[in-house]
């Protein structure tokens, strides 16, 4: 299974691709999509859409694992993030890619073991879990890799539950 993790952002969107199954996975690639904050928001959305479409075409993910919405003090920021998330969901649906959404606290809990982990803790655990030589930077890309890793752990559990329910009694 190949998972594309996305940490949505209207100025910097993090992405990471991880390949494997269950709790065995490996890094494929990661990076960010940068948008100019001085551009109209619609132009930033187009930039993000085109860049993520290229990433999907290059890496052919089976699953899009995206950070779920979270409470933000600034309503404007929350709305913009929601629109970026919507683009990611649209891209996945257009390409027939399965979608998984995870709350930020669940991602941190899964990867670090603590739901209120700091950015540097997430980066360090991603480095360890993916056997990287150095921490992935920027933190947006590390967060995207953590979201992809989170999917491997939770999808594996969901598969086990489904198999146990299918066994004859």
Instruction: Quickly count: other Cβ atoms within 10 Å of residue 40's Cβ.
Output: 9
Three-state secondary-structure class, residue 12? strand
Give the span between the Cα atoms of 165 and 100, in whole angstroms.
Answer: 21
Pair type for strands 24-34 and 12-21: antiparallel
Our answer to whether residue 140 is catalytic in this structure is yes
Annotated catalytic residue within 11, 19, 54, 67: 67
Annotated catalytic residue within 11, 93, 124, 140: 140
Annotated catalytic residue within 7, 54, 58, 118: 7
Q: Is residue 144 within 8 Å of residue 6, measured between CB atoms?
A: yes
Phi, psi of 7 (to 5 degrees): -105, 100
The catalytic site residues sit at: 7, 67, 140
């Amino acid at each position: 299974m190949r998972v594309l993790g996305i940490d949505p952002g209207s100025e910097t969107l993090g992405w990471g691709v991880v390949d494997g199954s269950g709790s065995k996975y490996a890094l494929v690639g990661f990076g960010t999509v940068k948008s100019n904050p001085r551009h109209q928001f619609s132009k930033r959305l187009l930039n993000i859409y085109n860049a993520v479409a290229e990433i999907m075409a290059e890496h052919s993910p089976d699953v899009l694992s995206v950070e779920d919405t979270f409470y933000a003090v600034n309503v404007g920021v929350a709305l913009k993030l929601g629109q970026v998330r919507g683009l990611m969901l649209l891209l996945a649906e257009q390409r027939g890619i399965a979608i998984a959404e995870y709350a930020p606290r669940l991602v941190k809990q899964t990867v670090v073991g603590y739901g209120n982990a700091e950015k540097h803790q997430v980066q360090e655990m991603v480095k360890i879990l993916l056997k990287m030589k150095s921490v992935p930077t920027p933190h947006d890309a590390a967060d995207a890799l953590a979201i992809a890793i989170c999917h491997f752990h939770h999808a594996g559990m969901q598969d086990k539950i489904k198999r146990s329910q299918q066994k004859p009694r």
